[in-house]
Amino acid sequence: MQFHRRHVLGALVSGVASLASPKVFAAPLSQAAPEGLAQAKAALDTHAMRVRQRDLIGLVDFGAPSASARFQLVDLGNARVLSDLLVAHGRGSDPGNTGMVHSFSNRPGSNASSQGSFLVGETYFGQHGHSRRLHGLDPDNSLAYQRAIVIHGAPYVSPDMARHTGRIGRSLGCFAVSLGDIRPLLAQLGPGTLLFAHK
């Protein structure tokens, strides 16, 4: 069998492209954190009048360290976890920069993460590029929109940083994901869906 130079180059380009692509898979629903998933399903019922899209949710486990992929896209309709992503928490939730969430806050200026149910809102292009607004649906996160707590990409969220330092960078309370993950995430977790954060 003969190998031509263009075939080898094509294979190399394809291989590099696949390494740069975000991790997408279809794992059984059992891969989701059971307590968080149960709470998120209850939240769908509680906020049924606001959350129009019920087949897909974002589930963030702030009980896990920031170096772990703790932001899951969950396809409830097909009982699958579609992807696991790194996500930052707020500086105010981890003042010692340990990689763990120690507290939550809904207070403006706290730079902390909030927990609970968020309604995913519209996309906009801001300081961090393509981003998506969030509306807090619970008392614990009711000021999320006013605090500009959003989903955005950030260079301080990366697998390399997680591997080398045992943690990723911190946000000002936003759900910051890697620059490579932000577009695919926003394409799937659209307006009218639920983002549920718990610890």
Please give the residue range of the domain that contains residue 187: 23-198
Residue 34 lies inside a defined structural domain of this protein: yes
How much is the pTM?
A: 0.85
3-state secondary structure 20-39: HCCCCCCEEHHHCCHHHHHH
Q: What is the C-alpha separation between 55 and 188, in angstroms, rounded?
A: 11
> Which 3 state secondary structure label does DSSP give 121?
strand
How large is the average pLDDT for residues 153-180? 97
Question: How large is the average pLDDT for residues 71-87?
Answer: 95
Residue 189 domain flag: yes
Give me the CATH number covering residue 134: 2.40.440.10
Q: Determine the pLDDT at residue 19.
A: 31
Q: Which residue has the higher pLDDT, 125 or 143?
A: 143
What mean pLDDT, rounded, does the chain reach?
Answer: 88
Domain count for the chain, please give it.
Answer: 1
For residue 25, what pLDDT band results from cuts at 50, 70 and 90? low
pLDDT tens-digit map of 36-50: 999 999 999 999 999
Q: How confident is the model at residue 138 (pLDDT cuts 50, 70, 90)?
A: very high
Tell me if residue 66 falls in helix, strand or coil. Answer: coil
Mean of pLDDT values over 16-27: 45
